[in-house]
Every structure is written in C-alpha cells, then in structure tokens.
A and B are shown apart, each in its own frame.
Chain A
Amino acid sequence: DAKTTQPPSMDCAEGRAANLPCNHSTISGNEYVYWYRQIHSQGPQYIIHGLKNNETNEMASLIITEDRKSSTLILPHATLRDTAVYYCIVRSHKYSGAGSYQLTFGKGTKLSVIP
C-alpha cells in the first residue's frame, strides 16, 4: 500500500471548516483513500473513503485531486467533539491473499478545534 504524509497537527476555530490534507504521491490506480479518526481514549472510527471522485457523507467530504496524489478531508462546521487524531490511509481493494486485510495506520494529524 502507498505511504501517506500528513501534517502532525492543525488548529481550527469552532464552527469553521477544517481542511485536513494528505499526500499520497505513490498511490496506484486501484488504491483507495481512507480516512479514520480517533478521539481521545476511544478506538479509531471510520469516516469516509474514495477512489477518484469526490465523496460526501454525513460526517465529512473527501476531495481527491485529479492526479490522485493528494486529498483533503473537509469537516464543514467543526465542533469541539471533532478534536481527534485523523488518519489518512491508502489501500487496495484487490484481494491478493491474507496480506490484503492489513490496514496500516501512520501517525495522523492531531486536529484541535478551538472555542
């Protein structure tokens, strides 16, 4: 799976949009971009994923650049409860044996939403 690069930390004012970037310049054509987040003292939580089109759900929007080498997770109106570590992960859906199940988490971006 392709590696990702995220800033270690970001701040966002409450009520404003939080834009979290992720670089994945070595992504291959069949690899998806996933986002998870981990609120303090809890297990990670799935947010969203996409291949090349922009995606939106009730939690966030995912914008993937046309060359797919980077993406942005957008929380449209950040609240204090969005303070968490956000992980960007790139992985393939192609089954290639037991190793396909592995999901590798990096260090993520610590987002602090400030009142």
Chain B
Amino acid sequence: DVKVTQSSRYLVKRTGEKVFLECVQDMDHENMFWYRQDPGLGLRLIYFSYDVKMKEKGDIPEGYSVSREKKERFSLILESASTNQTSMYLCASSAGRVNEKLFFGSGTQLSVL
C-alpha cells in the first residue's frame, strides 16, 4: 500500500515563527498536494506539485510556500506563522496525469499561539 508520512502529528508554534511541514511518499508518485482542513470549511487546497521543482497554487496559497526538491518529498512552509493558520494540514499524493486516487497522510494538527 502507498504510504504518505507527515513528519509531525501535532505541532505548536508561536506567531511569527517559520514553520516547516514535511511530507514523504514511498510510491514514486508524480503528484503531491497540501490541503488544510477547518471545521465547517472542508478540505481546501493550498498548493500542489506535479513534478520535481514544479508547483502550482491551489485555492488558498496566501501565507504559504512549498518546496519539492525530490520526487518523494513535498514541504509546506509558513514563512511567518499567524494564528489564522491554526489548522489540520493534510498531505496527499497520486500518480500520473489522470490523478485517479489520492492517498493521504494522517495529518498535522498545527496550533499557532
């Protein structure tokens, strides 16, 4: 089975800190995604990448950046964390242009104080 691993399950940071969320997948998938999930708002796409060093903005990219230096790893960066970025962050990966099935990690619950 595909495994998508997110580096932290829970994370607590201070306002203004630079935050790195790491995601690694082990199935050689071309596509990787970062979503955030908030109560009542569902899952919202932040950024995605369909190839190494390629990135595309999703629906809510403001305040975030990403890095994909290796195929298996996709990092989400909060340059200066703010309290409104407190959320559950979910990483996902999928194969090919058809992008049939997304495989998700277990999520990182980030609290910004």
Query: Are B42 and A93 interface neighbours, CB within 8 A?
Result: no
Query: Are B50 and A43 interface neighbours, CB within 8 A?
Result: no
Residues of chain A contacted by B70 (CB below 8 angstroms): none
- A100 and B98 CA atoms in complex are apart in Å by 8
Q: How far is the CB of A38 from chain B (nearest CB, A)?
A: 8
Flag whether B67 is at the interface (Cβ < 8 A). Answer: no
Whether A105 contacts B43 in the complex (CB less than 8 A), given A42-B107, A98-B50, A98-B56, comes out as: yes
Query: Are A43 and B97 interface neighbours, CB within 8 A?
Result: no
Interfacial residues of chain B within 88-110, with CB under 8 A of chain A in the complex: 90-92, 94, 97-107
- A99 and B50 CA atoms in complex are apart in Å by 11
- Interface digits, B15-42 against A, CB 8 Å rule (1 contact, 0 not)? 0000000000000000101010000101
Whether A102 contacts B104 in the complex (CB less than 8 A), given A44-B90, A93-B98, A107-B42, comes out as: no
Query: Are B97 and A95 interface neighbours, CB within 8 A?
Result: yes
Closest to B2 in A: A46
Flag whether B48 is at the interface (Cβ < 8 A). Answer: yes
Query: Are A42 and B42 interface neighbours, CB within 8 A?
Result: no
Flag whether A49 is at the interface (Cβ < 8 A). Answer: yes
Flag whether B58 is at the interface (Cβ < 8 A). Answer: yes
21 inter-chain pairs at a CB distance below 8 angstroms, sorted by A residue, are: A41-B107, A42-B106, A43-B4, A43-B91, A44-B43, A45-B104, A46-B102, A93-B100, A98-B48, A98-B50, A101-B31, A101-B99, A102-B45, A102-B48, A102-B59, A103-B33, A104-B45, A105-B35, A105-B43, A107-B42, A108-B42
Given contacts A95-B97, A101-B94, A106-B42, 18 further A-B contacts (CB under 8 A): A41-B106, A41-B107, A42-B107, A43-B90, A43-B107, A44-B90, A44-B102, A46-B101, A46-B103, A93-B100, A95-B98, A98-B56, A101-B48, A102-B45, A102-B48, A102-B59, A103-B33, A107-B40
